[in-house]
Amino acid sequence: MKSYVGLLCAGLLLQALAAPLSANEMGRQVYQKWCSHCHDKGSDYPGTLALEARYKGAVPAALKERDNLAPELVTYIVRNGISVMPFFRKTEISDQELQALGAYLNRASHISKND
Ligand code: HEC
């Protein structure tokens, strides 16, 4: 019985490792790794504070709550940086990841925040 459970766990683990990430999951992970510490909702995040000051409530300050964030803008800003926001190299965020990130942020306001 014990070895059976072990085998089952190993099997599930292998399956999880082999399964390709969905684009949405990839976008979410890239956001968590590179953007969340500056752009999450709240007063501890410099990106959110800067955008709050800029838009004065006209649009949500947290990126994940925006519904007007064009993927082209995300791509441009991620590759070039803006103000204190650094730019990100392709060795940090690949083109494929950037595409997933743009799509994720574009639809992030329409889907569950835990998704
Ligand atoms: C070190 C903190 C920091 C990190 C990390 C960071 N940003 Fe920013 N970001 C900022 C700040 C600050 C601004 C506002 C700059 C300004 O205009 O004053 C900004 C602005 C932006 C804007 C412009 C929004 C608009 O309405 O013009 C986008 C898009 C953006 N960031 C996306 C991202 C993404 C995507 C990531 C992750 C790959 C990221 N940022 C990582 C700090 C950061």
Give residue 15's pLDDT: 63
Encode pLDDT of 79-114 as tens digits.
Answer: 999 999 999 999 999 999 999 999 999 987 655 544
Residue nearest to atom 24 of ligand 1 (CA): 51
What separation in Å is there between the alpha carbon of 57 and the centre of ligand 1? 17
Report pTM.
0.85
Per residue, the 3-state secondary structure of the chain, as one string, reads CHHHHHHHHHHHHHHHHHCCCCHHHHHHHHHHHHCHHHHCCCCCCHHHHHHHHHHCCCCCCCHHHCCCCCHHHHHHHHHHCECCECCCCCCCCCHHHHHHHHHHHHHHHHCCCCC
Residue 59: C-alpha distances to residues 55, 69, 73, 96 (Å)? 6, 10, 15, 28
22-110 folds as: Cytochrome Bc1 Complex; Chain D, domain 2 (1.10.760)
Q: Which of 77, 93, 101, 105 has most ligand 1 atoms within 8 Å of its beta carbon, as the pocket-test mutant?
A: 77
The yes-or-no verdict on residue 73 having pLDDT over 90 is: yes
What separation in Å is there between the alpha carbon of 71 and the centre of ligand 1? 13
Across the range 57-67, mean pLDDT stands at 94
More confident call, 68 vs 53? 53
All structural domains of the chain with their residue ranges: 22-110
Give residue 106's pLDDT: 92
Atom of ligand 1 nearest to the CA of 31: 37
Give residue 111's pLDDT: 59
The yes-or-no verdict on residue 52 having pLDDT over 50 is: yes
Q: Which of 85, 89, 99 has most ligand 1 atoms within 8 Å of its beta carbon, as the pocket-test mutant?
A: 85
Confidence bin at 23 (pLDDT 50/70/90): confident
- Enumerate residues 6+ apart whose C-beta is below 8 A from 98: 30, 74, 75, 78, 79
Give residue 113's pLDDT: 47
Confidence bin at 7 (pLDDT 50/70/90): low
